[in-house]
Chains A and B, each alone.
Chain A
Amino acid sequence: PAGQPSTWYLQYGDIGYKIQREKEAQFHPCKSLARQPQLTAEARCTLVSWLIPVHKHFRLSFECCCLAVNIMDRFLASTPVAADCFQLLGVTALLIASKQVEVCSPRISHLLSFCCDAFTKEQLCNLECLILLRLNFHLAAPTLAFFLDYYTNYTEAAQLVSEKTGGDRC
């Protein structure tokens, strides 16, 4: 049996989906590594693979993780980053994303301990401000988590309808 579609989906799903689809182009950078002399696609892949368990450790949502990757990619499209600062960019993006969508954001010192304390709090705070500036404060990106949630609800709602009509036929 299908799950229940969420209240938001039932009330606003289709309008919300339309708005987010329109916004998508504005938020998704192509060739985020084109301007990076030191960073490769493999390095980005490694960092994202590392962010996944880190966000889980802090019990952050999938939405938060998606936003962090989006923030990171858009920053990379605007600013060249040295290879030894790449990890700092990852945790800082995660911090900004968590401030946006979580009830509580992780402590900066905890985040830094995951980077083997290679960076200072000051460095992280400076980068945080730089990211906000470079993204021109545009943070509410439509995420993979949003679209997955929408499609899941869509399928569930469709299944409920077909179960009902199927039941009527019996």
Chain B
Amino acid sequence: MENYLKLSVIGKGTYGTVYKVKCRTTGKEFALKHHSDKVQDTTVRELSCLTALKGHLHVVYMHDCFISDGRVAMLLSYVPYTLSGVIHNGHGLNMCHESGQVKQLIPLSFVAHFSRQVAHALSYMHALNMVHRDLTPFNVLLTEDLTVKLADMGLSRQASKWMSPNLVTEAYRAPELFDQCERYCLEYTCAIDMWSLGVTIADAMEGKVVFYKRVDQHQETIPTYEIIVKTLGPKDRSCTAIASWGPDTIMPSVMKCTLVKRIVLGLLAFRDTERPLAHELLRDAEWAHVSHMNEEDRVMVIDQIRKGEK
């Protein structure tokens, strides 16, 4: 570990700190995830997942792992960008005015591109009965050539009948995870990751966190779960007390495009059993066709990334 020079702090969390480091002999850059506590449950799970998924094109690669003073440090590939940095730009796929020009910030092909690469990683994880459990645009990373790398497997684990529901950043959390009924644990499946992917696509279309809790005109906070029920809840369950919104209220750009509407509403099926599986999404020929990015599309996304860096 002494062979790596710490350059800067990339991220901090309850788990510890992620540093950007440089190898003293080769000059290559890596990310070093330094856990601050002794070997925690989440650390063991992350190690178990990262080694099991080693070599998957769309999962962040663990080059090495060290233990010093009982603390684990993982040497990961340094992946410079997050999906959030590209898609949370306030405009989504809409045209916007910028320095005197009307232009689009991200192309539809990129949305299909990243969602298929995420689905690729998920289909392999799900086949291993492994659920990511914390899929958000913040831990979908992007390399220079826009290849997706899934990161933050700290919550990932093999699915079992009973798992603690207290996971997934709220805005990306599937409805069945809110429905706790005061039970400590509940049964759920890999379909929770497919929901999170659906929300991520919706975010990209709208340019913001679609299911983020919001304040209405009466200064009352509407939490994520209520937004989900209002917009996507099953008709038989929508009680008269909650006025139904319909999906166009919160994701107009998604609803404008027939193809995206079909993909997103499929993934955002309120009942988990109705959501498509990762490999089913990959089999969607129309979506696959759209996912081809030409040079112009790439330049558009790279420009967006560069702007975010400034």
Contact = CB atoms under 8 A, between A and B. Distances in A.
Interface of A: 7-8, 11-12, 15-16, 19-20, 61, 63, 96, 99-101, 103-105, 125-126, 128-129, 132-133, 136-140
Contacts of A8: 129, 159, 189-190
B95 interface: no
B30 to A, nearest CB: 16
Interface in B261-279: 273, 277
Contact of B128 (A16, A99, A101): A16
B116 interface: no
Contacts of A16: 127-129
A100 B72 CA distance: 15
Contacts of B157: 100-101
Given A19-B127, A132-B47, A140-B48, A99 B158 contact: no
Contacts of A103: 162-164, 185
Interface stretch (B16-24, B38-46, B139-147, B199-207): B38-46
Q: How large is the interface on B (under 10, 10 to 19, 20 to 34, 35 or more residues)?
A: 35 or more
A15 B38 contact: no
Interface string B145-163: 0000000000001111011
Please indicate which of the listed interface residues B49, B72, B129, B163 has the most CB atoms of chain A within 10 Å of its own CB: B129
A7 B272 CA distance: 11
B126 interface: yes
A129 B67 CA distance: 7
Contact of B51 (A61, A99, A104, A138): A138
Interface in B80-128: 126-128
Contact of A11 (B38, B41, B128, B277): B277
Contact of A7 (B50, B52, B127, B189): B189
Interface string B248-288: 00000000000000000000000001000100000000000
19 contacts: A11-B126, A12-B126, A12-B127, A16-B129, A19-B127, A20-B128, A99-B45, A100-B41, A100-B45, A100-B157, A101-B158, A103-B163, A104-B41, A125-B70, A132-B67, A132-B72, A136-B51, A137-B50, A139-B51
Interface of B: 38-41, 43-45, 47-52, 62, 65, 67, 70, 72, 126-130, 157-160, 162-164, 185, 189-190, 273, 277
Pick the 5 closest A-B CB pairs, nearest first: A139-B48, A140-B52, A99-B44, A99-B41, A15-B127
Nearest to A98: B41
Contacts of B185: 103
Given A11-B277, A99-B45, A103-B164, A129 B70 contact: yes
Contacts, number: 81
Please indicate which of the listed interface residues B127, B130, B189 has the most CB atoms of chain A within 10 Å of its own CB: B127
B158 to A, nearest CB: 6
Nearest to A136: B51
A63 B160 CA distance: 10
A139 B164 CA distance: 21
Nearest to B164: A103
A124 B163 CA distance: 27
Given A125-B70, A133-B67, 18 more contacts: A8-B189, A12-B126, A12-B127, A19-B127, A61-B160, A99-B43, A99-B45, A100-B48, A101-B160, A103-B164, A104-B41, A125-B38, A128-B39, A132-B72, A137-B50, A139-B48, A140-B128, A140-B158
A132 B39 contact: yes
Nearest to A9: B129
Contact of A140 (B38, B51, B65, B127): B51
Nearest to A15: B127
A103 B166 CA distance: 11
A140 to B, nearest CB: 4
Contacts of B50: 137
Contact of A137 (B65, B162, B189): B65
Nearest to A129: B67
B277 A139 contact: no
Nearest to B163: A103
Given A16-B129, A19-B128, A99-B39, A139 B44 contact: yes
Nearest to A146: B129
